[in-house]
Structure 1
Amino acid sequence: MASSVTGARTIARNALAVSAAQVLGKLASLGFYVVMARVLGEQGFGAYTFALSLAQLTTVFAGFGIDEWMARTIARDPKTAPRLMTDALVAKSAFGVAGCVAAVVFAVVAGYSGEVQLTVAFLALGALVELYMNIFNATFQGLDDLRWPAAATMLERASIGIIGIVALLAGAGIVVVAAIYLACALAATALVMVRLAAIGVRPAPSPSAARALGLVKMTFTIGLTVLLNTALFRVDTVLLSLIKDDAAVGFYGAAYRLLESPLFVAYGMTAALLPALSRASRTSAPPLRDLVETGLKLILCALAPIGTAFAVLAEPIVDVVYGPDYADAVAAVRLLGGAAALYGVGYFGAFVLIAQGRQRILPQITAGVLVLNVVLNLVLIPAWSFRGAALVTSLSELLLAIAFMGYAMRVAGRLSARRVLSGPLAGCVAIALVALALGPTVPALVVAPIAYVVVLLAVERWLYPQDLRTLVAMVRRG
């Protein structure tokens, strides 16, 4: 019983630390992108959005799923941390530099301006630095302590947001903003590296190319999945930029930033549960099925209402956040509602499989959905522009959610749909009724979340009071 209480306390502490940092960081990031969209207009905002998507797309393969493997391995055997850190640094350096070069070469060959090329270079280097930071974050995660990774995340995003806003208001362009991104990534990485060293965990002093290559081979399946998933998340922006123009990318980027902002819930909850998921089984205490149901339910409670709000209240959301100049983005926000609600389901399902060592199926599913995504984008973007890209994104996330959770249930056992879905679905119906009664207005934006929380708590208290008591107890312990 004592170990169960300690485990719940640890999960709660980690989930709250990550969520709090992500909330503050996302608020700063959203404010930064809103100011950028308003100051630079859809053309400048579109150019920066393209550069960031390209930088992340060409460098993500250098991660190879190493971070997820490290967290799982260290959770089982903390003594492996120093060697894994060294091997990961060698592997990411070798392939990450190649990714940075590839990003700049693509921008040059595709004929983008010198300003965009320099922006791509700074953002690609920033993405590489974040790959290094993730090594130290994964080590902390394996040690069941996400407080310093959370602090580093908050430092990076808040710094980018605050300094970036000041720079934009002072007249800076996308190159300066990209340089700020790089500098803040370096500062956050230094923080988490120093704090890890303070508890006596440092990279082993003997790097080995052979060991690093062996690590890449071991994590290849996870890495390929991460690469394909990032391509799935970013390729639409690149295709939109090539087929249409910066204005279309700007409108889509504005909608996409709204989609990305709440996804920290999936990241935070999954990160907090990953060590426990790695140690759990069908016969453990608590059993794997309970952990999966709890994680999935919490993710849906947070993301399902956001997806519903995107679908029925897109107009006031865009108007409040970006202003009337971005009214064209309303349709994209509405169409991205499905992705907002379902992304966390697929993400969590994938990590259940990774935690249980059943990740072989992941790249096959993701590759299939990616191919479909590219084909549909090539068909729909010429006719529907960014609206077509938004529709394809939601369809892709629906397919991933169905497939990943289907395989996760094969591992964990059949889940209780009633327990997982009753509260979130009832709350989403309340949001839809508020939108129907008040229309797409700002007052509806205020009333809808209140109605959601009231209905959610009422349904949970009626059907699953123990879940509510457990959640309250975890929050208090956390």
Structure 2
Amino acid sequence: MFKSIVSIRERFSPQLRKVAVNTSWLFADRILRMGVGLFVGVWVARYLGPEQYGLYNYAIAFVSLFSAFATLGLDSIVVRDLVRYPACRDEILGTTFVLKLIGGLFTLLLTVGIISLLRPNETLTHWLVGITAVGTLFQAFDAIDFWFQSQTQSKYTVYAKSTAFLLITVVKVILIWMQAPLIAFACTGLAETIIGAVCLIVVYQANRYTLGVWQLQLQRSKQLLKESWSLILSGLTVYVYSKIDQVMLGSMLIKQSELGFYAVAVRLSEVFDFLPMILSISVLPKLTEIRQRDYKEYINKFQSYFDLMLILWLLVAIPVSLLAPFIVNCLYGESYTKSAHILSIYVWAQFGSNLGIARSGFLLLEGKQIFSLYLSASGAVLNVVLNLFLIPKYGAMGATIATLITYFLVIVAIIFFVNELKIISKILLRSFNLPHAIIRFLEVVK
């Protein structure tokens, strides 16, 4: 047995083994955050109650709407450049740090200014948004994370950010025990970002690098911004697409408890969102390789990929929808009973995540990423319009219905009317023939 294990190890190149180990670190980090985060998040939600929990999530969602200005769409571009030009490390990291710092400052001023205009007499909301937005300044230190990503050494980022996460988790439990006010929990989010930044600096220097040699290069900054502007726009539309419902719920309704009920349903629905993401990371490189040698086989494999995404969606949606009352009451208690009805319907919208990721992968490999921007922008507009009509009348359930309609029209319906996307519509129709999709899936497993 030992010899067979060694033989298997020898089949993989050192680089491939390095990628596998790196992925396992990221996977372990997601599992840790999902498990511990869900447990403590439930505890915090029960302690705060629907009203305060709703206001807390409103502040987070509001800042998230503008976070594209903090990230500046630089992440993947910077990692790419660090791989291509490792000798320019200090110039790239220094320029990235300054750009993201400026982006964070802009996000802070923008969010505080807008919330002051929208809700002029709500001092607590101003503080919650302001404290949350300050955290975007410290995201500038994610430049260190980009370096470790480029070196396939994400374990150091996991060390840093998991340390911060676990420390703040303990602090949250202490705050609940002390019966702390809502503002204290907003401060924990900021503290986690700061501690995470400090830990990143520590692991960076422990690897014999230093921040002191970082340098800002104006030509480099112009080049980065020239490439990233479309990603900033795309990121903005994606955040509007995915977060505007919570912001509109918090803005249009007097009772913040409606947002509290809705936030719980969304959080429970998205617990398994990491699965299609990890599947995408594993599958797309292989599909890229197959496309280069056999396009017919590539389409067949993409069919299996869509089949798997659809089956994965149903495996989550069906039991969660049926067991929603039990899940909500068991985790959050009777005060969140209304979330159960929302969850039983909202969880079906997760096809937007599964099939949307699969479709985005296809557009990426076919060089048609511009359609992702068009589709997310149209989804953002549609979601806003639907929420304007449905939230005043139906509250949180109105936002749920708006999400379902938006995802169906943007993820499914629209691809039948765009010539460049017709091939995806054929693949999707075959996947919706569930018995055949299951048979194809079982054949691939064999």
Same-fold status (TM-score > 0.5) = yes
Displacement, 1:50? 0.5
Q: Distance in 1 between matches of 2:429 and 2:16?
A: 23
2:142 maps to 1:162: no
Residue in structure 2 matched with residue 217 of structure 1 by the alignment: 226
Instruction: Identify the residue that residue 114 of structure 1 maps to in structure 2.
Output: 123
Structure 1, 247-256 or 351-360: larger mean CA deviation = 351-360
- Kept in 2, the 8 Å contact 1:78–1:143? The answer is no
> CA separation in 2, counterparts of 1:347 and 1:312?
25
**How much does 1:72 deviate?**
4.0
**How far, CA to CA, are the matches of 2:86 and 2:421 in structure 1?**
29
Shift in CA distance, 363/13, structure 1 to aligned 2, threshold 3 Å: same
Partner of residue 380, structure 2: 370
Pick one of 185, 190, 207 that aligns with 1:182: 190
1:105-144 equivalence runs, <5 A? 105-109=113-117, 110-111=119-120, 113-129=122-138, 131-144=139-152
CA-CA distance at 1:227 after TM superposition: 1.4
Q: 2:214 is aligned with what amino acid?
A: P
Q: Deviations over 1:70-119 (max 9, x none)?
A: 33444555555544323322222112211111222223221353222212
Distance 1:112 1:326, change over 3 A: farther
Structure 1 residues 182 and 421 mapped into 2: Cα distance closer, same or farther (>3 Å)? farther
Aligned twin of 1:388:
398
Question: Displacement, 1:51?
Answer: 0.7
Q: Indicate the residue corresponding to 1:237 in structure 2.
A: 246
Identical-residue share of aligned pairs (%) = 21
Partners of 2:304 and 2:162 in 1: CA distance? 26
Q: 1:281: Cα distance to partner? A: 7.0
**1:48 CA drift (Å):** 0.4
CA shift, 1:222, in A, is: 2.1
Conservation of the 8 A alpha-carbon contact between 2:70 and 2:136? no
Distance 1:176 1:27, change over 3 A: same
Q: Is the Cα contact below 8 Å between 2:390 and 2:398 reproduced in 1?
A: yes
Please tell me whether residue 347 in structure 1 is matched to residue 347 in structure 2: no
Cα offset, 1:239, TM superposition = 0.8
1:65: which partner in 2? 73
The alpha-carbon distance between structure 1 residues 385 and 462, as it changes in their structure 2 partners (threshold 3 A), is closer
Q: CA 1:270–1:465 in structure 2 vs 1: closer, same or farther (change >3 Å)?
A: closer
Alpha carbons 1:29, 1:160 under 8 Å: kept: no
8 Å CA contact 1:75, 1:144 repeated in 2: no
* Partner SS, residue 283 of structure 1: helix
User: Shift of the alpha carbon at 1:213?
Assistant: 3.4
Structure 2 residue aligned with 1:452: none
Give 2:325's match in structure 1, choosing from 315, 321, 325.
315
One-letter amino acid of the structure 1 residue matched with residue 75 of structure 2? D
CA shift digits 1:159-218 (9 cap, x unpaired)? 333321221231112211111111111222333344345446667632034432331220
Corresponding letter in the other structure for 2:444: Y
Displacement of 1:267 in angstroms is 4.0
Does the 8 A contact of 1:251 with 1:329 survive in 2? yes
The change in CA–CA distance for 1:92 and 1:216 in structure 2 (over 3 A counts) is same
User: Does the C-alpha gap of structure 1 residues 353 and 149 become closer, same or farther in structure 2, counting only changes over 3 Å?
Assistant: farther
Q: Distance in 2 between matches of 1:357 and 1:82?
A: 31
Paired position in structure 1 for 2:4: none
TM-score normalised per structure 1: 0.77
Encode CA deviations 1:428-478: one digit per residue, 9 max, x unaligned.
xxxxxxxxxxxxxxxxxxxxxxxxxxxxxxx78952245xxxxxxxxxxxx
Structural mapping, 1:269-288, within 5 Å: 269-270=279-280, 276=285, 280=289, 282-283=291-292
- 3-state SS of paired residue (1:171): coil
SS of the residue corresponding to residue 111 of structure 1 reads coil
Q: How many residues align?
A: 432
Maintained 8 Å contact 1:293/1:415? yes
Secondary structure at the aligned position of 2:404 is classed as helix
- Cα distance in 2 for partners of 1:4, 1:407 equals 41
Indicate whether 1:464 and 2:437 are aligned. Answer: no
Alpha-carbon distance in structure 2 between the residues aligned to 1:297 and 1:149: 34
Quote the offset at 1:240 in angstroms: 0.7
Give, in angstroms, the shift of residue 299 of structure 1. 5.6
2:356–2:411 CA contact under 8 A, matched in 1: yes
The runs of 5 or more residues in structure 2 that have no matched partner are 1-7
**1:147 to 2:155 alignment:** yes
Rounded Cα–Cα distance in structure 2 between residues aligned with 1:7 and 1:295: 25
**Residues of 2 paired with 1:283 and 1:365: CA distance?**
27
Instruction: Give the deviation of 1:67 after TM superposition.
Output: 0.8
Distance change (3 Å), C-alpha of 1:465 and 1:353? closer
Q: Counterpart amino acid of 1:53?
A: A
Paired residues of 2:415 and 2:422 also in contact (CA < 8 A): no
Match of residue 93, structure 1, among 92, 101, 112: 101
Report if the CA contact (8 A) 1:362-1:404 is conserved. Answer: no
**Could you tell me which residue of structure 2 aligns to residue 47 of structure 1?**
55
What is the SS of the residue equivalent to 1:464? helix
Structure 1 letter corresponding to 2:53: F
Deviates more, 1:52-61 or 1:193-202: 193-202
1:356-367 maps to which residues of 2 (within 5 A)? 358-367=368-377
In structure 2, C-alpha distance between the alignment counterparts of 1:407 and 1:199, rounded to whole Å:
51
Q: Is the 8 A contact 2:245 2:387 kept in 1?
A: yes
Cα separation, partners in 2 of 1:317 and 1:189, compared to 1, 3 Å? same
Give yes or no for contact 1:82–1:202 (8 Å, CA) kept in 2. Answer: no
Is the contact made by 2:92 and 2:220 (CA closer than 8 Å) also made in structure 1?
no
Checking the alignment, whether the CA contact within 8 Å between 1:32 and 1:165 is kept in structure 2 is: yes
Partners of 1:272 and 1:395 lie apart in 2 by 30
Report which stretch shifted further, 256-265 or 8-17.
8-17
1:475 equivalent in structure 2: none
* CA distance 1:169–1:213, change in 2 (3 Å): farther
**Separation in 1, partners of 2:309, 2:163:** 24
Calculate the TM-score normalised by the size of structure 2: 0.82
- How big is the alpha-carbon RMSD for the aligned residues of Structure 1 and Structure 2? 3.9
Write the distance in 2 (CA, Å) between the matches of 1:158 and 1:424: 45
* Rg larger for: 2
Q: CA deviation at 1:320?
A: 1.3
State the shift of 1:45 in Å. 0.5
